[in-house]
Structure 1
Amino acid sequence: MCSGSFAKCLGITLIPLAILCALANILLFFPGGKTVDKNENITEEVWYFGGLMGSGVLMIFPALVFLGLKNNDCCGCCGNESCGKRFAMFTSIIFAAVGLAGAGYSFIVSAVAIDRGPKCSTAEGYRYPFDNGYLSDPSVWRTCTEPANIVLWNWTLFTTLLALSGIEFILCLVQLINGMLVVLCGNYNCCKQSVEPA
């Protein structure tokens, strides 16, 4: 398989993942599916925009570059033979690193948010009421009186972000390795296939 075709498959996969991550982050601004009176009552990690920016908008750039590599797959880029395939793949390495940074950021923010738990209304007001191990003991979730089902809401969406950003990280890492192999070793199979016998 041509390295550009492989990169295109990765780009096609990254786009829906990025959209889902952005959507999950947006939903976190509506705890329990409802609006809140004050922005400071929303869990702090939501404002870090891990899903919206890190594994969302930032991931669109590598996805578009990976999609464009199919056009640069055989002996040049954008139809210009003087611009080599290795240069095109080197560009993909840079954008794969950007994708790794964005996905890694989203993964870390999500992990911290899951570990800390949501900010919610308790008898003492809005605060972070949970210590370690709150997920294994659903009976303590009743500490949060509002918004309704906030613990399950936050856990579901941040876990979704954690999983999706992990997948994005792996895909960008695969393209980073793919690009490095082409840059260092070369891959001219496509060029040979594109030349018609005389």
Structure 2
Amino acid sequence: MCTGHCSRSVGMALIPTAIVCMLANTLLLFPDLKYQYLTESHVTREAMWCSGIWASGFLVLVAARGFTTRYEKKGCCYFTVEVSRKMGYACLAILGAGVCFVVSGTGLALGPLCLHNSTEGLEWGRPLKQVKTGEKLYLYTPERWSSTCVEPRGVVIWNILLFSVLMAASGLELAFCVLHLLAALLEFMCGPRFCKNKVVPA
């Protein structure tokens, strides 16, 4: 089948990106590599949703396994079922990677949850979050990163780095799967002789 080699290549490419997403999201749950922030709910909700673990991680691994599984059956019905199966797995991976990409982008834009100085003293919150429309995003003011948060140590860089890794990895997953879905759709519409450049007699 035309998408056979493509599916296996996409499946093999998705495995490392899914593992990277799972590791990055796990690290987000432990700022400064300490567990008490998680037990005290002092971790951003975007990290707590664990979209890098279940969405761009587990769901994408399920799709990758489906892409790399081979069947030796032949026939017109098999062709239809097989291409439909590949498209289903591609849609599953697109859904998982898309959820992670959006959640990670939101977490990156809103900034970390940390202990910071406020008008009422030290309190937990997201001091780098945009308050007014048109306000400059904290990502473009690196001079604020080291002085805003008192605890956890280095949490701003921690969040920026890991959420960026999640966005990059899930973005790659999206690109791979969208291209594969388009190829599978083309093959489905053109029939089993598409790759051989043969015209099926009427």
TM-score bracket for this pair, using the shorter chain length: 0.7 to 0.9
Residue 177 of structure 1 aligns with an amino acid whose one-letter code is L
| Superposed displacement of residue 180, structure 1 | 0.8
1:105 aligns with 2:99: yes
| Superposed displacement of residue 86, structure 1 | 2.5
Q: How many residues align?
A: 185
SS at match of 1:8: helix
**Contact persistence 2:115–2:149 (CA under 8 A):** yes
Higher mean C-alpha displacement, 170-179 vs 80-89: 80-89
1:90 aligns with 2:90: no
| Superposed displacement of residue 36, structure 1 | 2.4
Instruction: Look up the match of 2:18.
Output: 18
Listed as ranges, the gaps of 5+ residues in structure 2 are 131-136, 198-202
Instruction: Look up the match of 2:200.
Output: none
| Superposed displacement of residue 79, structure 1 | 2.8
1:140 aligns with 2:175: no
User: CA offsets, 1:45-95, max 9 Å, x none?
Assistant: 111111111100010111111112xx34xxxxx435474222101111111
Instruction: Look up the match of 2:58.
Output: 57
**Contact persistence 1:36–1:42 (CA under 8 A):** no
SS at match of 1:122: strand
**Contact persistence 1:24–1:160 (CA under 8 A):** yes
Q: Distance in 2 between matches of 1:175 and 1:160?
A: 23
Q: Distance in 1 between matches of 2:32 and 2:83?
A: 44
SS at match of 2:64: helix
User: TM-score w.r.t. structure 1 length?
Assistant: 0.86
Q: Distance in 1 between matches of 2:189 and 2:76?
A: 18
Instruction: Look up the match of 2:166.
Output: 161
**Contact persistence 2:2–2:187 (CA under 8 A):** no
Give the aligned CA root-mean-square deviation in angstroms: 2.0
Alignment of 1:115-154 (within 5 A): 115-123=109-117, 124-132=122-130, 133-141=137-145, 142-154=147-159
1:170 aligns with 2:185: no
**Contact persistence 2:111–2:126 (CA under 8 A):** yes
**Contact persistence 1:32–1:147 (CA under 8 A):** yes
Identity %: 34
Residue 65 of structure 2 aligns with an amino acid whose one-letter code is L
**Contact persistence 1:119–1:126 (CA under 8 A):** yes
User: TM-score w.r.t. structure 2 length?
Assistant: 0.84
SS at match of 1:41: coil
